[in-house]
Homo-oligomer: A and B are copies of this chain.
Amino acid sequence: MAGVTSPSMPVWMIRNTVRGNRTFCTLNEGLGKVLRYGANGPEVLERLRWMGGTLGPALQKALARSGPIALKPLMARALHMGDEMHNRNAAASSLLFKLLAPALLRAGIAERTAAEVLDFINGNDHFFLNVAMPACKAMLDAAAGVPGSTMVVAMARNGTEFGIRLSGTGERWFTTPAPFLDGLFFAGYTKEDASRDIGDSAITETAGIGGFSMAAAPAIVQFVGGTPREALAHTLAMGHITLWANRAFTIPSLDFSGAPAGIDARKVVDTGILPIINSGIAHREAGIGQIGAGITRAPMACFTQAVVALEEMRRAQESAGPA
């Protein structure tokens, strides 16, 4: 379920209707020179002002008119339409657009404003990413805090470090230096310009979409590199380190098998198979923005630390004696 708050910096508001927990995310600005990749020039600020003053309030009115949007069926449909919802959101953005357009029209918004809003969403195939991320977080937060659980409930990177959280180890982050990405660069940039892996978006992989569901999105290799066969292989490999196949998110090309979901840190350590992540690439210098997209792996050190920490918790509990 999604709502939007405003003004100034509007955010999507996602509610896990089963568990009641809520998550939030800013609205997607598009590619290239955008604040979330460190760009901060006048055009970035101008767009953000428009998003705060026009886009946010318009979406808020539209959603008040339409009521909350059920995201799980929308995301399931998008997986059947070639999206993996991390770096390919063309279908999900279109499906969201189809729900928002009639609502915008019925919400009594000035024609010119509504048309501007539709053009903006229309022109940004990544618009749904900032809905997919908090939707994944809303699912994963519900799995946090299970004693003894080795399930990974968050993976995140800040351009310097890569960190994960396990369900059984609370709010502690297990970190190590973030990797670089292997991928495709926008015209004029090379890997020399790239920062280390950065951003919260690996929450999609943590939930079983993104890199984990690349078999559903063969066309994504035109954006992140690699081949359709590798995309297929990534999804199959992820089945070895996950706890289950998510039957709500099926992958047609794999006979509608469920997306490999719920990374088990123990299985990562046991098999040596590292979680695949496809992601955008930021320029190493602040102010420039996104310069490409590619593929990387979550580093092993996070998982070994996490599994050791969980074992230490178990031993500490054991030596404290039965409750």
Given contacts A81-B82, A82-B82, A228-B253, contact A102 B90 (CB under 8 A): no
Please tell me if the beta carbons of A253 and B255 are within 8 angstroms of each other in the complex: no
Could you tell me how many residues of chain A have their Cβ less than 8 Å away from some Cβ of chain B?
A: 34
Please tell me if the beta carbons of A105 and B105 are within 8 angstroms of each other in the complex: yes
Q: Is A318 an interface residue (CB 8 A)?
A: no
Considering the complex, give the chain B residue whose CB is closest to the CB of A103: B115
Q: Is A270 an interface residue (CB 8 A)?
A: no
Interface of A is mostly: helix
Shortest beta-carbon distance from A265 to chain B in Å: 32
Q: Is A6 an interface residue (CB 8 A)?
A: no
Q: Is A192 an interface residue (CB 8 A)?
A: no
Please tell me if the beta carbons of A218 and B118 are within 8 angstroms of each other in the complex: no
Shortest beta-carbon distance from A221 to chain B in Å: 8
Residues on A facing B (Cβ under 8 Å): 77, 80-83, 90-91, 94-95, 97-99, 101-102, 105-106, 111, 114-115, 118-119, 122, 218-219, 221-222, 227-229, 252-256
Please tell me if the beta carbons of A118 and B91 are within 8 angstroms of each other in the complex: no
Q: Residues of B contacting A101 with CB < 8 Å?
A: 97, 101, 118, 122
Please tell me if the beta carbons of A227 and B255 are within 8 angstroms of each other in the complex: yes
- Each complex incorporates copies of this chain amounting to 2
Please tell me if the beta carbons of B122 and A115 are within 8 angstroms of each other in the complex: no
Q: Residues of B contacting A90 with CB < 8 Å?
A: 77, 80-81
Question: CA separation between A102 and B123, bound complex, in Å?
Answer: 12
Q: Residues of B contacting A111 with CB < 8 Å?
A: 105-106
The contact of A119 among B102, B221, B253, by CB within 8 Å, is B102
The contact of A115 among B91, B105, B229, by CB within 8 Å, is B105
Question: CA separation between A174 and B219, bound complex, in Å?
Answer: 39
A-B contact pairs, 20 of them (CB 8 A): A77-B90, A80-B90, A81-B83, A94-B94, A94-B97, A97-B98, A97-B101, A98-B98, A101-B101, A102-B118, A102-B119, A102-B122, A105-B115, A106-B111, A106-B115, A218-B253, A219-B252, A227-B255, A228-B254, A228-B255
